[in-house]
Structure 1
Amino acid sequence: MIDLRLLREDPDRVRASQTLRGDDPGLVDEVLSADAHRRSALTEFEGLRAEQKAFGKRVAAARGEEKAALLAEVKGLAERVKALGAEADEAEATATALARRIGNVVEDGVPPGGEDDYVVLEHVGTPRDWAAEYGDGFTVRDHLELGEGLGAIDTERGAKVSGARFYFLTGIGARLELALLTAAMDTALAAGFTPMITPTLVKPEVMAGTGFLGAHADEVYRLEADDLYLVGTSEVALAGYHSGEVLDLSAGPLRYAGWSACYRREAGSYGKDTRGIIRVHQFHKVEAFSWTTVEDAADEHRRILGWERQMLDLVELPYRVIDTAAGDLGSSAARKFDCEAWLPSQGRYLELTSTSNCTTFQARRLGVRERTADGALRPVATLNGTLATTRWIVAILENHQLPDGSVRVPAGLRPYLGGLEVLEPTAARGPVGATSAEVRS
């Protein structure tokens, strides 16, 4: 949630942030007006309630007709206090609802614009020159063709069981995902993160607290019968882990690495990346999440980016780092860096990691604070970043493919696959499209 003190003291900065995001800067004035009404109503309520308490002492000391008259007066006063209390509560709810519509204030230097207005900060590695390696007649296979040939990916049966954008990872595909996520958890452990297996169902207040029930709420799965939400990232559960608590950050950031299944409706993505496992409804991910001080947040953001890059180097992928434009940040992020790997079959870059500095936005909503050296309480900062996810398999298969449909295993993953150096094509039992009779025979 936006810092209301900042909103009052420097509304122009918040208006500028809203404009950079492509959101309505006029909302700032609506919030200021609602906040002024809230404070006025609360002041009036508290003043009248104090008068009511003082009046009670007069009633206690009165006798006879005087007491009867005072009691009648007290009744009217009580009704006014009740009405003012309701007005103050309503003003509080209105101000809070309006304030929650304002996104986090973007950091200085964040590029303006939307999804296509990112700034490339760095290119790492060089995409392979397939013609130089294998001749002009070589045709790059995409990840689905490779995955089916390896007996690693089965989207046809995924659709049969669950519908479009679902899949099975089979055999070496399942092993490859486990290898990736285990390597990511090892990287997190070496960096001082506590490993966490997190819930994938959360309460509405936790989902809202992390900022996922705003403009993009239609991308979230909801279980109406239980009033619970399926998370699209373990960031949600990890953010809720310390809700309502006071943290001790005197020894440095609190860091957690969450391993979980993730679910996304992919609303509005009809027709995009329908082939294979690039854009799917369910996947697995290891997510880095940090709680730290406001002063340390920018440095922790760069550190998380460094651990993401360490993982990308481990699997030997050519990638670029981008500074995401303000209009593509999401409501809770003040700045976001993405790492995008080269996708040979499509001749484009594909997002594999994302790390966001959410400053105090989520902590304010979730009531997470720290006690400073002078004893005061203040909100902390939260940061998150992807260390590995199912989508990485797409880039690994395509970038490390060999002419016969096999795939070289990056050296960093070999220890997690029993020393396996090459994934070989296989004639899988029960090929995709086979009938049950064919499988039995």
Structure 2
Amino acid sequence: MRPETMAGTGFLGKHAEEIYYLERDDMYLVGTSEVALAGYHADEIIDLTDGPKRYAGWSACYRREAGSAGRDTRGIIRVHQFHKVEMFSYAHAEDAAAEHERFLSIEEEMLTALELPYRVIDTAAGDLGSSAARKFDCEAWLPSQERWMEVTSTSNCTTYQARRLNIRERVEKGTTAVATINGTIGTTRWLVALLENHQQADGSVYVPAILRPYLGGVEYLQPVA
């Protein structure tokens, strides 16, 4: 992504050290497709008369994981390259909170369907990034480590990104900035929670009903001797 899009979405702030910069090209490798989706309508006036404009992005993501101090660097919890599906919405500013709750309900619905124990964290203001006005983290339980692990999150950025990227809608007297909302719908990290919570005493792994049609109908994954 171009520097102006990275800056406009708020990713060149205090977490800039986690981003891979390609100096020769003056481009950045994205850590989330949120950046591309936010920049998609940069410098545009969009029509929201029929409700929020919603997108989903599937991309490779790259992060240095700077500052992780060796935490979770073995396995697939913290990796430098992974794939992720991201939800993204442009909405009227007054509808942003409701859209944020909608994204959270989708994430919770997925966690419930996968039969995973989880909790929702309403992130403290001091832990928010520069763009988010409110963020919910969904954390799944990790039996092997006896702790909760973030598997997905959703953020209401209100008009922060849109003002910086010049994304507006028409109102009675001119134009005004829209709101942007994002939320992760799935990453490779989910595999950790699935395998740990559904592994059986004999080494097999229980397959939640919602996944069975994609795995040939099998109810358990059996270990290979």
TM-score, normalized by the shorter chain, greater than 0.5: yes
Matched, 1:269 2:68: yes
Equivalent residue letter for 1:398 = E
**Structure-2 residue corresponding to 1:344:** 143
Give me the whole-angstrom Cα distance separating, in 2, the residues matched to 1:240 and 1:247.
13
Give me the whole-angstrom Cα distance separating, in 2, the residues matched to 1:426 and 1:223.
42
Equivalent residue letter for 1:420 = V
Give me the whole-angstrom Cα distance separating, in 2, the residues matched to 1:250 and 1:414.
39
Secondary structure, counterpart of 1:237 in structure 2: helix
Query: Hey, which of these two has a bigger chunk of strand by percent?
Result: 2
**Structure-1 residue corresponding to 2:55:** 256
Matched, 1:381 2:179: yes
- What's the CA shift string for 1:6-40, capped at 9, x where partnerless? xxxxxxxxxxxxxxxxxxxxxxxxxxxxxxxxxxx
Query: How far apart are residue 420 of structure 1 and its match?
Result: 2.1
Give me the whole-angstrom Cα distance separating, in 2, the residues matched to 1:361 and 1:422.
46
- Taking the TM superposition and a 5 Å limit, the aligned residue runs for 1:63-212 are 202-212=1-11
Give me the whole-angstrom Cα distance separating, in 2, the residues matched to 1:236 and 1:333.
13
Give me the whole-angstrom Cα distance separating, in 2, the residues matched to 1:371 and 1:426.
60
**Structure-2 residue corresponding to 1:367:** 166
Query: How far apart are residue 314 of structure 1 and its match?
Result: 1.6
Matched, 1:423 2:221: yes
Equivalent residue letter for 2:166 = G
**Structure-1 residue corresponding to 2:100:** 301
Runs of 4+ in 1 over 2 A off after TM superposition: none
**Structure-2 residue corresponding to 1:414:** 212
- What's the CA shift string for 1:129-152, capped at 9, x where partnerless? xxxxxxxxxxxxxxxxxxxxxxxx
Q: Work out which of the residue numbers 77, 80, 95 in structure 2 matches 1:278.
A: 77
Matched, 1:292 2:94: no
Give me the whole-angstrom Cα distance separating, in 1, the residues matched to 2:208 and 2:127.
32
Give me the whole-angstrom Cα distance separating, in 2, the residues matched to 1:304 and 1:349.
21
Q: Work out which of the residue numbers 153, 175, 196 in structure 2 matches 1:354.
A: 153
**Structure-2 residue corresponding to 1:110:** none
Equivalent residue letter for 2:52 = P
| Structure 1: gaps spanning 5 or more residues | 1-201, 428-441
- What's the CA shift string for 1:309-334, capped at 9, x where partnerless? 11111211000011000111100000
Secondary structure, counterpart of 1:246 in structure 2: coil
- What's the CA shift string for 1:21-61, capped at 9, x where partnerless? xxxxxxxxxxxxxxxxxxxxxxxxxxxxxxxxxxxxxxxxx
Query: How far apart are residue 275 of structure 1 and its match?
Result: 2.3
Equivalent residue letter for 2:14 = A
Give me the whole-angstrom Cα distance separating, in 1, the residues matched to 2:82 and 2:218.
24
Query: How far apart are residue 270 of structure 1 and its match?
Result: 2.2
Query: How far apart are residue 416 of structure 1 and its match?
Result: 1.6
- What's the CA shift string for 1:364-420, capped at 9, x where partnerless? 110100001x14200000000011110000000000001122111111111122212
Secondary structure, counterpart of 2:126 in structure 1: helix
**Structure-1 residue corresponding to 2:201:** 403
Give me the whole-angstrom Cα distance separating, in 1, the residues matched to 2:11 and 2:169.
24
**What number of residue pairs does the alignment pair up?**
225
- Taking the TM superposition and a 5 Å limit, the aligned residue runs for 1:309-348 are 309-348=108-147
Query: How far apart are residue 274 of structure 1 and its match?
Result: 2.2
Q: Work out which of the residue numbers 372, 383, 394 in structure 1 matches 2:192.
A: 394
Q: Say which one has the larger Rg.
A: 1
Equivalent residue letter for 1:256 = Y
Matched, 1:232 2:31: yes
- The alignment yields a C-alpha RMSD, in angstroms, of 0.9
Query: How far apart are residue 422 of structure 1 and its match?
Result: 1.2
Give me the whole-angstrom Cα distance separating, in 2, the residues matched to 1:275 and 1:267.
15
